[in-house]
Amino acid sequence: MIYVALLRGINVGGKNKVDMKLLKETFERLGLKNVKTYINSGNIIFSDKKRSAKKLTELLETAIKRDFGFEVRALLRDSKNIKAVTEALPSSWTNDASMKCDVMFLWPDRDSPKILEQLTIKPEIDDVRYVEGALLWSVDRKKVTKSGMMKLAGNKLYKNMTIRNCNTVRKIMALIKEAGFDE
């Protein structure tokens, strides 16, 4: 099975610093194969045929604490989920000077279309969509400060998601395909 580990809260604002080369070595010591990292925000593609996602998550979180000295939550998604999320992103959505577009990957216990009811969404500004495992959120860059997205950090759901911009998610999918992992 091909997985992407999305680590929450590493290398953000100078906190929880993790060198990607050392992180790759941590994954390899666990017997994971074809380990590839993408940017410093904690995106690791790998394969494993022996263990469940739940067991892998436990192993990864324990190994990261052991090797780096702090706790990090890991969210695993298989390549099929990353593909579904990527395909659900409208092709016109970008993360650039004109638009802010984020993918908010949800922990399993929060993964439900009903999560939309728990968020501050301003329909005249925000375009928010649910896809299994994630929320897709787009807003015009000029209106970001008025967006419901700005209230997300104060919402109790915030700690039960890990956020990547849409460009990063598309690149992760491209890396999966380049490595021949697309299932």
Alpha carbon distance 101, 124 (integer Å): 16
Rounded-to-integer distance, Cα 16 and Cα 39, Å: 15
Tens of pLDDT along the chain (183 residues) come to: 999 999 998 877 778 888 999 999 999 999 999 999 999 889 999 999 999 999 999 999 999 999 999 999 999 999 999 999 999 999 999 999 999 999 999 999 999 999 999 899 999 999 999 999 999 999 999 999 999 998 888 788 888 999 999 999 999 999 999 877 655
In angstroms, how far is the first alpha carbon of the chain from the final one? 9
Instruction: Give the span between the Cα atoms of 156 and 147, in whole angstroms.
Output: 18
